[in-house]
């Protein structure tokens, strides 16, 4: 800067840029990290040349660049942050593609000798800054429930759902969930590990598949390792407290769930075997269905609908019973006398992946007739007229 100032004093009104007091200014919202970095002090001739130039981002970066100043990488090798360069009024503006991350040190460099009409006497202007991290790193996300909740599950259990109170980060699921045998020995790779990780859209529910290759009979993994779970034993599922949520904070605490393992379940769920308690007319009693075995929690939510005598869906909400052995439907408005229908999606599965349409494994010598199973099965429920009438 001193050199530049001296040059102004001596050069006076030559043809070269007259004003060389370059400065970098931040026009950022400190909370969101959105906004831009601008260079002020560029002469009108250079601004006009920049505005009309066909420079690409790489060319602009030689003049004016912004980098994340990580201690690990040598700065000269750190690529510049991507963004858009624009001449706006009397400044050169750089807007990053993404909001700046609080807590990271940023370095901005402006090199006047790289202007279209180079200013060889001015020194480069360097500024470093860090946006203050606003959130305090306290834990608030926790595991709120793990399904199945039944104390005993079949040895060929296929799925486990982890529900969190807030959105979680991806990429660590299979390091953060462990299954321990009763003796405390952790099972080696009990889950099917897929890089995509099976989250719902809100990032609050993770589906874990117990390795289907070890459940399915006749495959090498089944032969080499055997099924993941053994009947008659008990296990503990542990969710590590160090698992970061979407904001990078660890969980509030470790989660543990002990469960026992019963025999293999190869029987398909059958709606004809369900107990259905018909509600009384003019009440808002639940239409309660009880299953002889626990069913898949996630599928139970959407797999069953109640249709009124005219075939229209009845508005209301469903409550899944303890151990996923029942589902109660609570109507928004009182029932009226008539014949209702409970429609069941045949993709509904039990804990071992046997659906109403197909068992997990089909013995081809006993065909179940793929394509013959309807998409939905229907149970008729008669709501009797109220006795008070």
Partner 1 sequence: MRITRITLPLAAVAVAFLFTAAHAEGPAKGTPDWKSAGPIAFGPRGLLFLGDTQGAALFAVETGDVKPDSAGGELKVEAINEKIAAVLGTTADQIMINDLAVNPASGKAYLSVARGKGPTAAPVLVRVDHAGKVEVVSLDDVAFAKTALPNPPSAAQGPRSARVEAITDLAYIDGRVFVAGLSNEEFSSRLLAIPYPFTGSAGDDASIEIYHGAHGRLETKSPVRTFVGFEIAGEPYLLAAYTCTPLVKLPVAALKPGAHVKGETIAELGNRNKPLDMIVYQKDGKSFLLLANSSRGVMKISTDGVDHAKSINAPVRDGKHEGQPYETIASLQGVTQLDKLDKDHAVILLQNAQGQVNLETIALP
List binders of partner 1 among 325-384 (CB under 8 A).
343-345, 347, 349, 353, 355, 358, 360-365, 370-371, 376
Considering only 96, 177, 249, 294, the residue that binds partner 1 (CB under 8 A) is 96
CB of 334 to partner 1, least distance (A): 20
Cα distance between residue 295 and residue 150, in whole Å: 10
Pick between residue 191 and residue 259 the one whose CB is nearest to partner 1.
191
DSSP conformational letter for 168: B
Distance linking the first and last C-alpha atoms of the chain: 95
Q: Nearest 5°: CA angle at 273, between 272 and 274?
A: 95
Residue 373 CB neighbour total at 10 angstroms = 16
Q: Nearest 5°: CA angle at 36, between 33 and 41?
A: 145
Using CB under 8 A, which residues numbered 149 to 188 contact partner 1? 158-159, 167-171
Pick between residue 265 and residue 296 the one whose CB is nearest to partner 1.
296
Give every CB contact of residue 342 below 8 A, 6+ residues apart in sequence. Answer: 271, 276, 287, 289, 304, 305, 306, 307, 378, 379, 380, 381
CB of 242 to partner 1, least distance (A): 14
Neighbouring-strand partners of residue 145: 163
Using CB under 8 A, which residues numbered 284 to 323 contact partner 1? 296, 298-299, 301-305, 313
# residues contacting partner 1 (CB under 8 A): 86
Considering only 37, 91, 100, 177, the residue that binds partner 1 (CB under 8 A) is 100
Pick between residue 124 and residue 345 the one whose CB is nearest to partner 1.
345
95, 36 Cβ separation under 8 angstroms: yes
Using CB under 8 A, which residues numbered 39 to 68 contact partner 1? 57-58, 66-68
Stretch that binds partner 1, among 38-46, 122-130, 178-186, 243-251 (CB under 8 A): 243-251
Site string for partner 1, 190-229 (x = CB under 8 A): --xxxxxxxxxxxx-x-x-x-xxxx-xxxxxx-xxx----
Where b means 16+ CB within 10 Å and e means fewer, 169-203 reads beeebbebbebbeeeeeebeebbbeeeebebeeeb
Pick between residue 202 and residue 283 the one whose CB is nearest to partner 1.
202
Stretch that binds partner 1, among 73-81, 175-183, 230-238, 254-262 (CB under 8 A): 73-81
CB of 292 to partner 1, least distance (A): 20
Give every CB contact of residue 106 below 8 A, 6+ residues apart in sequence. Answer: 66, 67, 68, 69, 81, 100, 128, 129, 130, 131
* Binding flag, residue 34, partner 1 (CB under 8 A): no
CB of 281 to partner 1, least distance (A): 23
């Amino acid at each position: 800067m001193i050199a530049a100032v001296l040059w102004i004093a001596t050069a006076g009104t030559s043809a070269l840029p007259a004003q060389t007091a370059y400065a970098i200014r931040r026009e950022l919202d400190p909370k969101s990290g959105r906004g831009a970095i601008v260079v002020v002090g560029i002469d009108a001739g250079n601004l006009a040349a920049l505005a009309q130039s066909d420079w690409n981002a790489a060319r602009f970066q030689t003049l004016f660049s912004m980098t994340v100043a990580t201690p690990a990488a040598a700065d000269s090798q750190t690529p510049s942050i991507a963004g858009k360069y624009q001449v706006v009024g009397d400044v050169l503006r750089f807007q990053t593609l993404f909001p700046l991350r609080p807590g990271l040190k940023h370095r901005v460099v402006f090199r006047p000798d790289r202007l279209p009409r180079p200013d060889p006497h001015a020194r480069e202007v360097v500024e470093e800054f860090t946006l203050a991290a606003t959130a305090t790193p306290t834990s608030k996300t926790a595991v709120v429930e793990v399904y199945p909740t039944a104390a005993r599950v079949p040895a060929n259990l296929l799925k486990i759902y982890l529900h969190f109170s807030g959105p979680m980060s991806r990429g660590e699921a299979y390091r953060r969930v462990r299954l321990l045998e009763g003796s405390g020995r952790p099972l080696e790779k009990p889950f099917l590990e897929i890089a995509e990780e099976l989250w719902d859209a809100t990032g609050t529910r993770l589906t874990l598949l117990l390795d289907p290759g070890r459940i399915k009979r006749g495959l090498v993994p089944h032969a080499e390792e055997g099924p993941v779970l053994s009947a008659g034993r008990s296990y503990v599922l542990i969710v590590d407290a160090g698992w970061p949520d979407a904001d990078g904070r660890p969980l509030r605490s470790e989660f543990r769930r002990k469960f026992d393992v019963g025999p293999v379940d190869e029987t398909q769920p059958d709606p004809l075997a369900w107990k259905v308690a018909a509600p009384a007319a003019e009440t808002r009693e639940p239409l309660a269905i009880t299953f002889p075995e626990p069913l898949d929690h996630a599928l139970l939510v959407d797999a069953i609908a109640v249709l009124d005598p005219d075939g229209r869906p009845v508005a209301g909400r469903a409550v899944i019973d303890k151990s996923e052995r029942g589902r109660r439907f609570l109507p928004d408005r009182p029932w009226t006398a008539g014949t209702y229908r409970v429609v069941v999606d045949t993709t509904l599965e039990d804990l071992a992946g046997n659906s109403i349409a197909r068992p997990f494994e089909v013995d081809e010598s006993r065909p179940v007739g793929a394509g013959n199973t309807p998409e939905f099965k229907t149970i008729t429920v008669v709501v009797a007229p109220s006795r008070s009438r």
